[in-house]
Amino acid sequence: MLTIGRFFTGTALAASLWLSGAAAVAASDSADEARAAFDEMAAHYPALNATIMVEGEIVWEAEGGTARDAADGVTQAYNVYSVAKMFTALAYARLAETEGLDLDMPVRAIDATLPAAYDAVTLRALLEHTAGVRHYTSREDWIAFSDRRCETPADALGHFIADPLSPPVEGEMSYSTYGYVLLSHLLVQLTGTENFDAAMTHVLGEAVYLARRDSELADKARNWVDVGSGPEIVAGLSAECKFGAGGLLMSSRELAAMGAALAAGDIVDLASWGDLPGPWAGHDAGLDLHYAAHSGGSPGGRSFLLVYVEPGVSVALTGNADSENLQALSIRLADLFAGFTGEAPAED
């Protein structure tokens, strides 16, 4: 398994997928089974939403939860947290593919004001969580960073940039949200834009980049947090200083649409799939299936995006509390609408 439960793993995917000799399940049966699975999970959330797209079209949606208000739904913006990292990595992959960006470029070649300790740090190392930039050290560190207010990623660097680097041993990774905050800053520098949303729009295009950054007064779903006596609404909770590391807002429809754009090849060419930086994309040789997935979870929300490229399936889930993990539900929904069915083969 990869780090801290935030990543979807290739092992889990390979074990969950199989093709039957029968035709794809009937749409009505898929919808009934999807609804039952969704409702079971929604019982753990104040509000939970799902949007499934196949070949760019919405084929199924659901809204549920135990404490919804009138604004909650598939068109409401939610904190998607670390799912943002997937799109930040894709922006870099697109720059490498379309503009020849060298992902092995030292980051101080982009911003010479970074500390000398970053001399040997490359974009690829940051993207693959091997640079040694620290993650949160404690709940207090998370709170302190959440309490910061930032207009641009440069405003967030002071929280961690001077701290020592601790690269993992070769072949391993050390998950770092702060590493992706630095990538957010470097993307603004590379594109010469004024802010992170503008940088992402510049790279991915207005038709693809459907997110926007969080802020203290953002119009979004209410964040429910368990502060020790059970979940309650926490006003003003903001992930704005995370930017492409976890500070973006999207509805389930917007998140699914960005996944559909990835499946359609509108972000990167499938031929370059094996070179995508980071542990969130893979290829199942037995099924000849390319897939991409990332989860997000932090106090106040949880999300998941799962993309099956060849059948063009994009599954997006958004919730407003850090409740039950959404990975298994995402796989189940994707399998249903991709027409994958049957019993998983026994492992050798």
User: What's phi and psi for 59, nearest 5 deg?
Assistant: -115, -15
- pLDDT for the residue numbered 234: 93
- In a domain? residue 347: no
**Structural domain range at position 308:** 3-66+75-338
How many folded domains does the chain comprise? 1
**Spatial CA neighbour of 319 closest among 14, 4, 73:** 73
**Spatial CA neighbour of 85 closest among 135, 158, 138, 47:** 135
- In a domain? residue 201: yes
- In a domain? residue 346: no
The burial of 243, by beta-carbon neighbours within 10 Å (0-12 exposed, 13-18 middle, 19 or more buried), is given as: buried
pLDDT in tens, the chain (348 residues): 222 233 344 334 433 443 333 334 446 688 999 999 999 999 999 999 999 999 999 999 999 999 999 999 999 999 999 999 999 999 999 999 999 999 999 999 999 999 999 999 999 999 999 999 999 999 999 999 999 999 999 999 999 999 999 999 998 999 999 999 999 999 999 999 999 999 999 999 999 999 999 999 999 999 999 888 888 999 999 999 999 999 999 999 999 999 999 999 999 999 889 889 988 999 988 888 999 999 999 999 999 999 999 999 999 999 999 999 999 999 999 999 999 865 443 333
Please compute, for residue 309, the number of CA atoms within 13 A of its CA located in the half-sphere on the CB side: 21
- In a domain? residue 82: yes
Under a CB-based contact definition with an 8 Å cutoff, are residues 34 and 333 in contact? yes
- pLDDT for the residue numbered 27: 63
- In a domain? residue 345: no
In terms of phi and psi (left: phi > 0; alpha: psi -120 to 50; beta: otherwise), the region of 79 is: beta
- In a domain? residue 177: yes
Q: Report the CATH number at residue 118.
A: 3.40.710.10
Strands 313-319 and 248-250: unpaired
- In a domain? residue 277: yes
Q: Where do the DSSP E strands lie in the chain?
A: 48-54, 57-64, 78-79, 212-213, 224-226, 231-233, 248-250, 281-284, 289-298, 301-308, 313-319
CA distance 173 to 126: 10
- In a domain? residue 308: yes
